[in-house]
């Protein structure tokens, strides 16, 4: 049996070796899940909810251990891992509160013996191929509502968050979700491809644009529901009337939290020329204050990159930016880090004098690096914010709400922020324009997406 090596990105130590689900193993789990789905869908919603409620209780009770597992395998600072798990509990609460309303059959017309109804039924067997950067968030956005709505779920966590994925499966089963109804699939792209080969009623993917395009190519001809939550190159505009220090402090966190490895990390900043210098100084000061350290230490803000190959991506973006005239104000290279020279460490990096000829302002960086570009007015800022293949989030900093609304209504992004950034709410849909993906999770619609509406025409006379 092949094994997956789980490596701690902070130290390069081997943490664990996990049995990989090869094609045959995936096919067996898929068949079992398909067979088990109808009984799960027929289980009263109150019982399905009780399982998820128990699962929530287990996650809460074991939060510190689960945070430690996530920090060890991804390098995420322990405080950030705890934040994610606490946020996850809030999302579960939202899904539990809304599930019944979503599944209610709706009657729209009842007259002269004719009745028209919409019934919401589960999709059936769904696959979920997931990312490592927020394993509980992005996995939970699918399997919690997916299970509540009555689907069976085949969940493939990222190979960089496999231990967290196994913990999710263990706790779901302990909470009463039948073993065959939820299965974790361990492995790399091969396991993902084996999952794509199964007869699925829905495929939900979170990850990079390149993998999303591959999955779209495979799934397209099958006429199966497909959702793709992909990358971003999220911009923010700091207006002339914004407080440069407050905006800089907020945006430094938006760019560097989780070492910049969030799909909605701030990746581009456009600042009005009149406050550029004050803003840049405050941003550099704030970023400099972020403590790099052992991910398991309580005061660490900046951990390592989860994936070693991302270092080369950042180095290439930096070399390209420098060659084209950008100015490096802080950082700019890989770091020996705080763990004796081992690990995927990169300095928190700030550039200004950037422009859109540079990969740094066009391609997703997914690391602790930010580019700042001077603009002269709203029109220039809006044009630059929209000059991207992506469209996940965008923000504006200004004291005037009406001004922010005017700017943000012209920006193509699924989520927009006024005086805040890098924020996700279970109550609001999470979706993207352009190459940021298709479909959505979260909100009431993020529950409904795991059902199909069945139209009933009923004549009683
Ligand atoms: P990735 O595409 O490398 O991997 C994602 C998953 O796909 C993993 O489970 C991986 O094993 C699997 N996979 C890789 N190649 C495959 C293939 N050929 N066939 C089938 N499966 C395959 O992405 P990643 O590095 O895990 O995640 C980072 C990316 O995810 C970033 O671009 C980030 O912006 C994006 N992301 C988006 C959201 C969102 O909500 N839009 C959330 C989190 C992350």
* Average pLDDT across the chain, whole number: 98
Q: In what order do the strands lie in the sheet with 225-229?
A: 182-184, 152-156, 125-129, 202-206, 225-229, 437-438
pLDDT category, 278, cuts 50, 70, 90? Answer: very high
Beta strands in 292-376 (DSSP E): 327-330, 349-352, 369-375
* The pLDDT value given to residue 365: 98
Question: DSSP string spanning 222-272?
Answer: GT-EEEEE----EEEEE-TTS-HHHHHHHHHHHHHGGGG-STT-EEEEEEE
Query: Cβ contacts of residue 423 below 8 Å, gap of 6+?
Result: 264, 417
pLDDT above 90 coverage of the chain, percent: 99
Q: Mean pLDDT throughout 423-429?
A: 98
Q: 190 C-alpha to center of ligand 1: Å?
A: 13
Residue of 130, 131, 265 best suited for mutating to test ligand 1, as the one with most atoms within 8 Å of CB: 131
Q: Tell the residue nearest (CA) to atom 5 of ligand 1.
A: 207
Say if ligand 1 is within 6 A of residue 242 CB: no
* The pLDDT value given to residue 400: 98
pLDDT category, 358, cuts 50, 70, 90? Answer: very high
Q: How far is CA 91 from CA 54, 87, 101, 136, 443, in A?
A: 15, 6, 16, 10, 9
pLDDT category, 228, cuts 50, 70, 90? Answer: very high
Say if ligand 1 is within 6 A of residue 97 CB: no
Rounded Cα distance between 89 and 82, Å, is 11
Say if ligand 1 is within 6 A of residue 410 CB: no
Residue of 73, 162, 211, 435 best suited for mutating to test ligand 1, as the one with most atoms within 8 Å of CB: 211
Q: Mean pLDDT throughout 263-286?
A: 98
Q: Tell the residue nearest (CA) to atom 30 of ligand 1.
A: 207
Q: Which atom of ligand 1 is nearest to the CA of 307?
A: 25
* The pLDDT value given to residue 332: 98
Say if ligand 1 is within 6 A of residue 189 CB: yes
* The pLDDT value given to residue 42: 98
* The pLDDT value given to residue 447: 98
Q: Tell the residue nearest (CA) to atom 4 of ligand 1.
A: 207
Please give the model's pTM, rounded to 2 decimal places. Answer: 0.97
Q: What is the pLDDT of residues 306-327, one digit of tens each?
A: 999 999 999 999 999 999 999 9
pLDDT above 70 coverage of the chain, percent: 100
- Residue 145 corresponds to which tokens in the numbers above? 């509502």
Say if ligand 1 is within 6 A of residue 133 CB: yes
Count other C-beta atoms under 10 Å from residue 19's C-beta. Answer: 12
Rounded Cα distance between 138 and 160, Å, is 14
Say if ligand 1 is within 6 A of residue 229 CB: yes
Q: Mean pLDDT throughout 449-459?
A: 98
Q: What is the pLDDT of residues 103-153, one digit of tens each?
A: 999 998 999 999 999 999 999 999 999 999 999 999 999 999 999 999 999
Q: How far is CA 431 from CA 140, 285, 335, 436, in A?
A: 16, 33, 34, 8
* The pLDDT value given to residue 354: 98
Rounded Cα distance between 137 and 91, Å, is 8
Rounded Cα distance between 296 and 280, Å, is 31
Q: 8 C-alpha to center of ligand 1: Å?
A: 19
Q: What is the pLDDT of residues 177-199, one digit of tens each?
A: 999 999 999 999 999 999 999 99
Say if ligand 1 is within 6 A of residue 159 CB: yes
């Amino acid at each position: 049996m092949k094994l997956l090596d789980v490596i701690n990105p902070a130290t390069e130590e081997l943490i664990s070796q996990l049995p990989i689900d090869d094609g045959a193993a995936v096919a067996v789990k898929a068949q079992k899940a398909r067979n088990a789905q109808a009984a799960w869908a027929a289980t009263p919603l109150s019982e399905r909810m009780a399982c998820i409620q128990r699962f929530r209780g287990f996650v809460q009770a074991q939060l510190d251990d689960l945070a430690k597992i996530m920090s060890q395998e991804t390098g995420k600072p322990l405080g950030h891992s705890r934040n994610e798990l606490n946020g996850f509990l809030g999302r579960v609460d939202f899904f539990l509160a809304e599930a019944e309303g979503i599944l209610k059959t709706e009657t729209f017309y009842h007259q002269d013996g004719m009745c028209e109804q919409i019934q919401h039924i589960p999709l059936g067997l769904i696959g979920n191929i997931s990312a490592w950067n927020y394993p509980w968030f992005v996995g939970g956005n699918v399997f919690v509502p997916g299970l509540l709505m009555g689907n069976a779920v085949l969940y493939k966590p990222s190979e960089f968050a496999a231990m967290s994925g196994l913990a999710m499966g263990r706790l779901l089963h302990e909470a009463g979700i039948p073993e065959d109804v939820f299965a974790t699939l361990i492995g790399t792209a091969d396991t993902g491809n084996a999952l794509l080969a199964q007869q699925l009623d829905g495929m939900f993917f979170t990850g990079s644009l390149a993998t999303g395009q591959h999955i779209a190519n495979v799934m397209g001809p099958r006429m199966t529901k497909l959702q793709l939550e992909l990358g971003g190159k999220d911009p923010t505009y700091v207006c002339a009337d914004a407080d440069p220090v407050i905006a800089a402090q907020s945006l430094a966190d938006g760019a560097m939290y989780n070492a910049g490895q969030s799909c909605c990390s701030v990746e581009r900043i456009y600042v009005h020329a009149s406050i550029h210098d004050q803003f840049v100084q405050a941003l550099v000061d704030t970023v400099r204050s972020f403590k790099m350290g052992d991910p398991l230490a309580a005061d660490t803000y900046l951990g390592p990159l989860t994936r070693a190959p991302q270092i080369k991506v950042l180095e290439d973006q930096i070399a390209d930016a420098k060659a084209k005239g950008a100015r490096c104000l802080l950082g700019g290279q890989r770091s020996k880090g705080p763990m004796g020279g081992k690990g995927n460490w990169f300095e928190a990096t700030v550039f200004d004098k950037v422009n859109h000829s540079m990969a740094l302002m066009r391609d997703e960086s997914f690391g602790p690096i930010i580019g700042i570009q001077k603009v002269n007015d709203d029109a220039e800022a809006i044009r630059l914010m929209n000059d991207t293949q992506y469209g996940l989030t965008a923000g504006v900093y200004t004291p005037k709400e009406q001004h922010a609304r005017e700017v943000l209504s012209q920006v193509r992004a699924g989520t927009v922020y006024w005086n805040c950034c890098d924020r996700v709410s279970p109550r609001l849909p999470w979706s993207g324009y352009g190459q940021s993906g298709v479909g959505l999770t979260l909100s009431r619609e993020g529950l409904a997406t795991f059902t199909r509406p069945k139209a009933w025409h009923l004549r009683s006379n």
